[in-house]
Structure 1
Amino acid sequence: MTTKTVLITGTSSGIGLAAAVGAARAGWHTVATMREPGRADALLEAARAAGVADKVQVRRLDVTEATSVADCVAEVVAEHGRLDAVVNNAGAGFAGTVEQQGMGPVRAAMEVNYFGVVELTLAALPHLRASGGRLITVTSVGGVVGQPFNEAYCAAKFAVEGFMESLAPVAASVGVRVAVVEPGAVTSEFVTNQQIDVPAMVEAAGPYGGALQAYVERTMKSYGADTSQTSEEAAEPVVALLDASEVPFRVQTSDWAREFVAPKLADLDGSAVQTVTGGWLR
């Protein structure tokens, strides 16, 4: 049997790293991409420890650069002859409120969290169509429920969910399954990488200082042992979708995440919407 190939973005840490190792353990040839391949040490060490170093290949891919995306996909297909799955995982958090931050963070959040996803999807779809493959995108509970002081980030994740929900029935008509995975609080470098100086941020928030302090205190509690997941736990549903016989459109990664989005979503797995919109194409 030909080994299937999956391309995963944002694999230097967190969910992306765990998903890359998990996919390799599941037997997939895993092309683990990141903006800076020099940061691959943690991934490669984890792959060695799991006994799957031979199934993990690191490549550079910056989702905000169209040429980087196109070149990477072309190289993978040229080398392996196929592309069976893509996991859009690369992303960045942005905390703050628009009145004080201005348009810069909003545009930056959309560039990496939304346009980067669209760019890779565009490049990969012809190959996924050829293989009858899968397109999996890690979004967030913040793609369902808008959260204070996360306008830019949530707007981008909302956009991703709308894009994928619209694309899913179209892709299904040509044999490509589309899913979004919604983690809740995950203890990983994603939060650390935002490098937020909370006291300074609260002090600079002016009239929003009290609300920001309350939000930060509530958010920190959500990263406790009883509510947050490890990156490995959050990556498990991503890996499972690669080989699942049934692929729901929407998957939450924990009971906490399901409870968080439940007030907003009566259709937790997206099947009701997909049944309706998919029927428009038959």
Structure 2
Amino acid sequence: MSFKTKKSLGQHFLTDKMVLFQILDTIDADENTRVIEIGPGTGALTKWLAEKFTDLHAIELDQRAVEVLKKELPDITIHEEDVLKVNWEELVDPDKKNIVVGNLPYYITSPILFDLMENRKLFTEAILMMQKEVAERLVAEASSKEYGILSVQTQLFSTPEILFDVHPHSFNPPPKVMSSVIKLHFDKPDLPVSDDMIKKVVRTAFNQRRKKLSNSLKPVLGDDLPEGFNFDDRAEHWAPNIYAKLAEHLEQSDSLS
């Protein structure tokens, strides 16, 4: 059937078979794995996933695409809903490895990433296509211009790895930017501090990234600057583990007060 993509849903369907097979080769799954695809569209990647994996679930919001998937791939499980409203605990199989795969709409990439990281204990890995610029921020090192909130939180909660870049011509319609496929390995040990405290510290620090941390962190520190940290630095100079260490200190202090 003829299928007109919706700009409002950020639809850019991957059509390049070479790239599709590259993505397939990156998925570390076996018969005891549930693969969950975000935004399959009309199933360019989905049909190959269905051939390779027996337990395949797809999350798709576009009713037109859902109809195509039901007709072409009747054996897969389709969840017709907004990925940002999904209850991941209901979607995964607790007795299996669970892997997420997806070509993410550019306009909601960050919310999807934060949601996956919040639920990281449910997954072993995620293989995601996104704007190259965003992928580079996920792996950026401290003191680089790309380094920011996404970098710190991603690196504390996972091990991110850029696998390869994808040219706009691999999509229909072609986006105006390069894309990258990135793998998030959810292999990090539990941190001795809550996610909420880490987010609070990191987001407060980068909210005024040009100021010294002694100033930008005032909303969480007040005038009490704990020892062992260089608060003359700016936000982009602290490695992720330093943010985790400060967050842990603050949480412990809160529990004692």
- TM category (shorter chain) comes to 0.3 to 0.5
Larger Rg: 2
Under a length normalisation based on structure 2, what TM-score does the superposition of the two structures give?
0.44
More strand, by proportion: 2
**Using CA pairs below 8 Å that are at least 6 residues apart, which structure has the higher relative contact order?**
1
